[in-house]
Structure 1
Amino acid sequence: MMKSRLMVLTGLFLLTLLNCKQNTIDLGNGRSFTIEKNISYGKDKEQKMDIYVPKTFTKDKDAFIIIHGGGWRGGRRSQLTSFTYDLMKKFPEKIFINLDYRLASSKRFALPNQTDDITNAMNYVEKTLKIHPKYILLGNSAGAHLAMLYAYKFDPKKNVKAVINIVGPTNLNDPGFKNYDDYAFVEKHLIDPKIVDSKTTLMDFGSPVYWITPTSAPTLSYYGINDHVVPPSQQKNLDSTLTKNKVYHESYQFTGDHLGWDQSSNGDFLVNKIEGFMKNINP
Structure 2
Amino acid sequence: MTPGLTVGQALVQATRRLAAAGVEGASRDARWLLAWALGTPPERLTLALPEPMTSDTAARFDIAIARRVTHEPVSHITGRRLFWGREFAVDRDVLDPRPETEVLVELALAEPFERVLDLGTGTGCILVTLLAERPEAIGTGTDISAAARSHAWGNAVRHRVSDRVEILASDWFRPLDDRGIAGRFDLVVSNPPYIAAAEMAGLSRDVREHEPRLALTDEGDGLSAYRAIAAGVEKVLAPGGRVLVEIGPAQARAVAAMFRQAGLDDVAVHPDLDGRDRVVSGRG
Task: Give your verdict on TM over 0.5.
Answer: no
What TM-score does the superposition give when structure 2 sets the normalisation length?
0.33
Structure whose residues are more often helix by fraction: 2
